[in-house]
Amino acid sequence: MKLASNKQTLDLRDSEAAARLQALVRSASIEATPRQILAAEHLPELLPEGTCVYVPFLPKGQFSDTLAACTRLLEVGMQPIPHVPARMAESRGQLRDWLAELEENHVDRLLLIAGDSDAAAGPFPDTLAVLESGLLAQFRFHGIGVAAHPDGHPMADRATLTQALGIKREYARTTATRLWVVTQFTFDADVVIDWLQSLGNILEEVPVYIGIAGPTRMKTLIAYAAQCGVGASARAMLRRPGSARLLRAWTPDAMVRALVRYCLDNPDTLLRGIHLFPFGGLRQSAQWIQEHSGSFEDQRGQFHESSVQ
């Protein structure tokens, strides 16, 4: 009798895990460059309507490319979330113009980041400087995302990064801004879980979306990791038994399953979803989403609204 009860508990647990995994993948957001977005002729066939697509502002890119990509996403029923890099704004006026053009073109949310440039092109060395400028409060964006780095950051220690998140949370509270956090990609669920646990009450109820690399070749992934300063979890992964097998390919399956287990064990977690970095190509990551989230038709219309509080 006791064995039957244990089996029922395990079956229920498996069922909950499967449902939670599908929910996480179904609401996944994805990153795509302006070039990928503008070149994809059949974007609605790749991603469900309403998918949140983050549009990076690359170091040698132009804001006009970002805007064109956002417009294209809106035309096909996607939710664009452009990166707004503080260090790339050459002046307060230029940043104001960027925000105004986004608003005029019905882009109603954005991801505020420091940017990949080593030096600031203008008066904003980081995202806190943008918040302090008061510029964002002049516009009516539906929500603002900010970045976090569970795997560390080459230019700041964890205490500094955590303090900055606390300041951003306070900014959101005092300005009634809808805020969410999306992280840099990592390879190791333990790194993510340790980081989530370390936050304590800093973020209060702000939702967190975990960055994960989409399916790709390991060689490609390691190259991106070096470029983005994601070093610790990459080194840990390569030290594990079976690394030789993993060197052939990477898929996010194991990491997502580990995050699902964490969510089930910690129902009050701030973890609300995943964000895919399609280093292996947009089509390959889109296919992974379709394969792990139920039927494609079931996904239509599921906007990533929970990304804002």
CB atoms within 10 A of CB 199: 18
Read off the pTM: 0.86
For helices 232-239 and 218-228, what crossing angle results, to 10°?
150
Neighbour-count burial of 226, counting CB atoms closer than 10 A to its CB (0-12 exposed, 13-18 middle, 19+ buried): exposed
% pLDDT > 70, the chain: 83
What confidence tens digit (pLDDT) does each residue in 10-68 have? 556 788 888 889 989 988 999 999 999 999 888 889 998 999 999 999 888 899 999 99
Res 219: pLDDT: 73
C-alpha to C-alpha distance for 286 and 45, rounded to whole angstroms = 9
3-state secondary structure of 180: strand
CB 300 within 8 A of CB 48: yes
Vertex 70: Cα angle to 92 and 115 (nearest 5): 45
Res 6: pLDDT: 60
pLDDT band at residue 220 using 50, 70 and 90 as cut-offs = confident
CB 187 within 8 A of CB 234: yes
C-alpha to C-alpha distance for 204 and 169, rounded to whole angstroms = 8
For range 63-89, the mean pLDDT: 96
C-alpha to C-alpha distance for 127 and 156, rounded to whole angstroms = 14
For range 237-244, the mean pLDDT: 56
Element (H, E) at 84: strand 79-85
Res 41: pLDDT: 81
pLDDT score of 297 more than 60:
no
Question: In the 8-state DSSP scheme, what is residue 305?
Answer: G
Ordered domains of the chain (ranges, CATH)? 35-289 (3.20.20.220)
CB 87 within 8 A of CB 117: yes
pLDDT band at residue 218 using 50, 70 and 90 as cut-offs = confident
CB 179 within 8 A of CB 202: no
Q: Name every residue whose Cβ is closer than 8 Å to that of residue 235 and which is 6 or more positions away in sequence.
A: none
Res 1: pLDDT: 53
Question: In the 8-state DSSP scheme, what is residue 52?
Answer: E
Across 3-12, 196-205, 241-250, 294-303, the highest mean pLDDT is recorded for: 196-205
Mean residue pLDDT across the chain: 86
CB 279 within 8 A of CB 214: yes
Res 89: pLDDT: 96
Tell the residue number behind the tokens 């990949």, with chain if given.
116
Element (H, E) at 211: strand 208-213
C-alpha 170 chain-centroid distance = 21
pLDDT score of 222 more than 90:
no
For range 274-293, the mean pLDDT: 91
C-alpha 29 chain-centroid distance = 7
Torsion angle defined by CA atoms of residues 21, 291, 148 and 144, in that order, rounded to the nearest 10 degrees: -100
Separation in Å, CA 299 to CA 16, 23, 51, 72, 213: 19, 10, 9, 20, 21
